[in-house]
Structure 1
Amino acid sequence: MTLAPYQGDLLAQTREWTNLHDEELRRRAVRAAADKDVAALVSLTTAYLAHQGGSGVLTSPRTVEAYALGTRQFAEYAAAQALSLLRPGRHDAQGYINHLLAAGRKPAGVQLKVAAAGCLYRALRWAGATDADPFRDTKVPKDRTPGIVKRPPYTEDELADVLEHADVHAKFLLFLTAHAGLRISEALALEWNDLDETAKRLHVRSGKGRKGRVVAMSTSLARAARHYRGLYGPGGPEHMDGKRTTPSDHLFRYGHVMTARYHIGKAFALAGVDFRGFHPGRKYAGTRLLRQIKDFGRVAAHLGHESVDTTRKGYAQLAADDLKDDLMGW
């Protein structure tokens, strides 16, 4: 999925609501909420997110998908519990949160669902359908367990085993996540002119929050990049094989995260390693780099984190005995 077509679709969805006169906008929003019309409520929330949200029509596809799913789940819960969306009871919102927690959802995941439900109510207020703000004073318990403990990085042995069984595409993608520390969306958005194997660096143009950065390549990644370009780059023997589903200036023939998961998942299966997603690769990069340079700021820059706290809590950890050499002789 490329950015320009997605923006156009999102803008079109927004205009379905913003082109309405105020009274018609209010009428349709009221009807959608009263009928608990899930599709209409998701559409309204998406329109609000793209029109009034912090990133507007540049909101990432994954954010739109997450908010759409959260809106759908809350609307379905409200329908099942016969709750009024327009005039919610003062315990309804906290009841939804408690329902999710009792079902075994983790606090971080519940917080995302609350964000989506809160966005739905902002959309309803924007449309003039209600003044209700039921999630304003709700509470979600904090999860004190660091993210890197809950979802640890892949180990050195795990990655080595997978690389032995990976094809050229999967191996290159694994190096991009586990050495360059790229998010999967950043890796799939890379174009050929973003790579500079000679200087051992690559240019991320579509980072989180639309922030670009230059990332250093490891020796192994630079070597894999040269091999990959020789096969699939412009002029390479496999470049015009007729099987590409993404524009020819992109590195990978697949552009969607689910497709990437399918292909790299096969390498993990062959290696007998549990595939836990792409983020444990980023965490491997963060943890290994931190143990080597012992500088959270530089590791945060490598991973594209705006806050060092994000790196510290969820993406990098020092060994428990890291200070033993420094404490020698005390």
Structure 2
Amino acid sequence: MMVYRLDLQARAQAWADMDVPEMRRRATEAARDMDVESLWSLTEAHLLLNGLSGAKVSRHTIRAYRKGLETFLEYARMVGLQLLRPRPNHGVAYARWLEAKGYNTSTVRVRLAASRKLFAALRWAGATDATPFADVRPAPDPVPRTEKRKPYSDVEVEELVRASDLEEKVILLLGAHAGLRVSEIAGLQRLDVHLDGEQPYLMVTGKRQKRQGVPLSRTLAKALYAWLNATPNLQGRVLSSGSVDYVQNRVKAVCERTGIPYSRRQVHGLRHSAGTRIYSDTADLLAVRDHLRHADITSSEIYVEYSRKMKTSPVKAW
């Protein structure tokens, strides 16, 4: 991770060290030629030097913005969009194109954010003053948020855990008990696991690189202890791979073995399981907020709805 940070800093520093005419020339040529690597280098530098997270920008954000830039350039080539002189409606037309391709609302939102960042970088370099995405928003999502990334029920979590090997068990419980996001599961380091003491806990690096402690259930603490002792050869990581895809594939494989639906829930549904169970057990939104590390309690309110939906219907016995 430290090497990655240093490489990222070095690439951004290369742009920061350019004089203004050279920076404008390089950015203008990259935009004219739609040079993916040069445009990404510029965007990445702007993200590091001027973004809200600064040097602590996460790998997840960088991956998402890189993918967004590549998708936008695909569209730009297809419609003949000139990056230095886009037409006024190209931004909203791109949003509708993404929606027509079947991307969900959250993905469209991330793709648009990446495109905004590209043009912010081009303006920063003095290559253009265009702002084609300034007021562009995705169409409202017709699917209620409680129907997306639904939680796995307690019974489903237990069945998944029973059908898992030791590493899969750790992955499942990091989501369903500790409430970690998929990127947090993938990036968890051994030095962040504290199993000694009366209350075992993890130090988790969350959104905006915020570090917070997360208490462990007895089941998860036991699984982590067994897994860490069985794999002393891993290079600082908790899991065999630090890839988000690896975590997703392992959870998907267990779902396929058990016949439990993975679609529309994925790994994030395990985090929703944790929040729903806490609210069902405590009826305390502050407990949900604290365990899931929400910055705002309004993010925790969805677990009230999930908890209600998972209860037996009052008319079932009529």
Instruction: Indicate yes or no: 2:275 matched with 1:277.
Output: no
Aligned-pair distance for 1:198? 4.3
TM-score by length of 2: 0.89
The C-alpha deviation readout for 1:4-57, integer Å capped at 9, x for no partner, is 122112112213322222111101111111112222212211111011111122
| 8 A contact 2:27–2:127 mirrored in 1 | yes
Q: After the TM superposition, which residues 36-51 of structure 1 pair with which residues of structure 2 at under 5 Å, given as runs?
A: 36-51=34-49
Local SS of the residue matching 2:242: coil
Q: 1:145 to 1:297 in 2, by over 3 A?
A: farther
Aligned match of 2:91 in 78, 90, 93? 93
Aligned-pair distance for 1:141? 2.3
| 8 A contact 2:56–2:208 mirrored in 1 | no
| 8 A contact 2:60–2:183 mirrored in 1 | no
**Residue in 1 that maps onto 2:201:** 202
* Matching residue's letter, 2:40: V
**Residue in 1 that maps onto 2:103:** 105
**Residue in 1 that maps onto 2:232:** 239
Aligned match of 1:29 in 7, 27, 30? 27
Q: After the TM superposition, which residues 310-329 of structure 1 pair with which residues of structure 2 at under 5 Å, given as runs?
A: 310-313=299-302, 317-320=306-309
Q: 1:131 to 1:31 in 2, by over 3 A?
A: same
Aligned match of 1:257 in 244, 256, 259? 244
Aligned-pair distance for 1:288? 1.0
- Percentage of matched positions with identical amino acids: 33
In structure 2, the gaps of 5 or more residues are none
Aligned match of 2:297 in 301, 308, 321? 308
**Residue in 2 that maps onto 1:125:** 123
* Matching residue's letter, 1:282: R
Structure 2 distance, partners of 1:9, 1:59, is 13
Structure 2 distance, partners of 1:190, 1:305, is 22
Structure 1 distance, partners of 2:144, 2:92, is 25
TM-score by length of 1: 0.86
Structure 2 distance, partners of 1:321, 1:160, is 16
* Matching residue's letter, 2:64: A
The C-alpha deviation readout for 1:195-232, integer Å capped at 9, x for no partner, is 23542331324122222222222232233233334x33
Local SS of the residue matching 1:318: helix
Aligned-pair distance for 1:116? 0.6
* Matching residue's letter, 2:202: H
Q: 1:146 to 1:6 in 2, by over 3 A?
A: farther
Instruction: Indicate yes or no: 2:289 matched with 1:294.
Output: no
